[in-house]
Chain A
Amino acid sequence: MKRLLLVFLLILLVFLLYGLRRGSKEGFCHLTLIGSTSVQPFAERLAEEFMAENKGYLLDVQGGGSTAGIQAVRQDTAHIGMSSRELKGEERTLKSYLICYDALAVIVHPANPIENLSIREIREIYAGRKRSWREFGWKDRAIDVITREEGSGTRSSFEDLVMKGEEIAPTVMVQDSNGSVREIVANDPYAIGYISFGLVDRRVKAVSIDGVRPTEENIKRKVYRFVRPFLFITKGAPKACEQNFISFVLSERGQGILKREGLIPVL
């Protein structure tokens, strides 16, 4: 019995020591990035490339949403926060790095015949004032509207660019990541949602807004106006570890990776 106890305590001790040791090794960087689900997949890719070249680095990328990421940096739960919107109010005491631009795409199912919507029409759909596809020339069928959660940077950008102060109706469905919004729209012919342009794939269709098609060309030429920044946030001046990664992201290599993924580099 006593032996069992001793073994148990020993195992515990080993784990604790191992766990604590890792954190303070010299030349060893363990970074946690938390935040926007829009930035997340791209940060993952950047992290993968970065870790492949820099053996002393361990990067953990988590989601949670832009606001969650900003909070996490404030609370020291993350080293770098990822945001897909500008900092607001008190958040501005934090330091932000613009890593690229991303466009916002309003998506529908490929079987949906509608190719273009005006900003006003999108607003009316999300405010709950236009409820049927019939009002847009399609079937007499209710529109399945999907939005992101309140803390989402994507939602915040969407509200700033489209809603003009009006509130999104409480009857609208909520999903907590770009991926899940895309997934639902891809499976529901009558759905509409908005996601990061970099995440649009063949399973959904991005509509033109006010006649402007969301293409890389139009986004670069600033004709397509639904654009928001991707930011890396730190609390005060970043330490060496963090600075190295941020520099990598802002370097030609890093920007090249982002460009390949469909984002607009900071140039």
Chain B
Amino acid sequence: MRLDPRTTDRLFSIFFRVHALIVVCVLLAILFLIAIKGLPQLSPAFLLQSPKDMGREGGIFPFIVGTFLLVFLSLLLAIPLGVGTAVFLTEYRREGRLTAFIRFGVESLAGIPSILYGLFGFIFFVIRLKMGLSLMAGVLTIMIMVLPTIIRTSEEAIKAVPRQLRLVSHSLGATKWETIVGVVLPKASPGILTGIMLSVGRAVGETAALIFTMGCSLRLPTSLADSGRTLAVHFYILAREGISMEKAYGTAFVLVFAILLVNLLAYYLMHKAMERLS
């Protein structure tokens, strides 16, 4: 029985719509469940207090701080290093085996699963370099983890800057590096920002690499040598051990909400950057 092509067209149209709907429903379901069970937990006490009784009572303040410290410090290191490498790769024009080799290394590293970063960080930073389970070890591990992403996106963004701009800049008397810093980088900033935001998102959600490098102490980390938890790590431990489902949902809510905020901030900043350039 052959169907009229118009009918098949309509059927398939519905078919694809349904699938898109399913995907949206899955997301909504996840967000809804977290919101419904997590929102009641939200209170100033929850956000500003320290945990008591292994997390059954009290709040998640140390973990909010821990997350912030970790992400901030990792990016503080990764951004200059990553953007600098991207600039080096694109402007140091001797395209040959060296740059190809480097690019291959960066590509390979982009695919490394986070548990391998945990393995590396644990053996190298925590044990060999005797940093112990600490913020420092976590920061360095996450820094290396996000470096390939930042390098890759920055490189693409820099490459996308039209040659004319560079030529014009040179013709106006600017030196090579003045051009890079004053013209190319600003023009590439939306793309670079994308890479940074992607990295922030990844770092905030990271668990496997951090349990083995930053550890899971319940205290507020006040120095680089302190151990601590991020929101994601705390959530994992609460959920896995069944310590408190309510607190787990509450933590999940803060976690997902924070990621949402980061994404929104990313959109906003990119918008601003693009506006400023046109």
Q: Chain A interface (Cβ within 8 Å of chain B)?
A: 1, 5, 8, 11-12, 15-16, 18-23, 30, 32, 34, 41, 44, 48, 58, 60-63, 75-78, 177, 179-180, 182-183, 186, 203
Contacts and interface: CB of A to CB of B under 8 A. Distances in A.
B132 interface: yes
B80 to A, nearest CB: 7
Interface stretch (B150-158, B195-203, B220-228): B220-228
B266 interface: no
Contacts of A60: 133, 215, 217, 219, 226-227
Interface residues of B, number: 29
Contacts, number: 76
Interface stretch (B21-29, B102-110, B237-245): B237-245
B127 A183 contact: no
Given A22-B223, A30-B225, A61 B217 contact: yes
A23 B133 contact: no
B74 to A, nearest CB: 12
A183 B225 CA distance: 33
Nearest to A175: B240
B126 interface: yes
B242 A183 contact: yes
13 contacts: A15-B73, A19-B136, A19-B223, A21-B223, A22-B222, A22-B223, A23-B223, A32-B132, A58-B219, A62-B216, A77-B132, A179-B242, A203-B242
A101 to B, nearest CB: 22
B272 to A, nearest CB: 19
B274 to A, nearest CB: 22
A235 B104 CA distance: 44
B181 interface: yes
A15 B227 contact: no
B176 interface: no
A61 B218 contact: yes
A62 B132 CA distance: 11
Given A44-B54, A58-B219, A75-B127, A177 B225 contact: no
Q: Which 3 A-B pairs have the closest CB atoms?
A: A179-B241, A19-B224, A183-B242
Contacts of A78: 132
Contacts of A11: 76
B242 A76 contact: no
A179 B76 contact: no
Contacts of B130: 76-77
Contacts of A8: 76, 80
Nearest to B127: A75
A203 B76 CA distance: 46
A177 B243 CA distance: 12
B54 A41 contact: yes
B223 A62 contact: no
Contacts of A20: 224-225
Contacts of B217: 60-62
B1 to A, nearest CB: 46
A18 B224 contact: yes
B218 A44 contact: yes
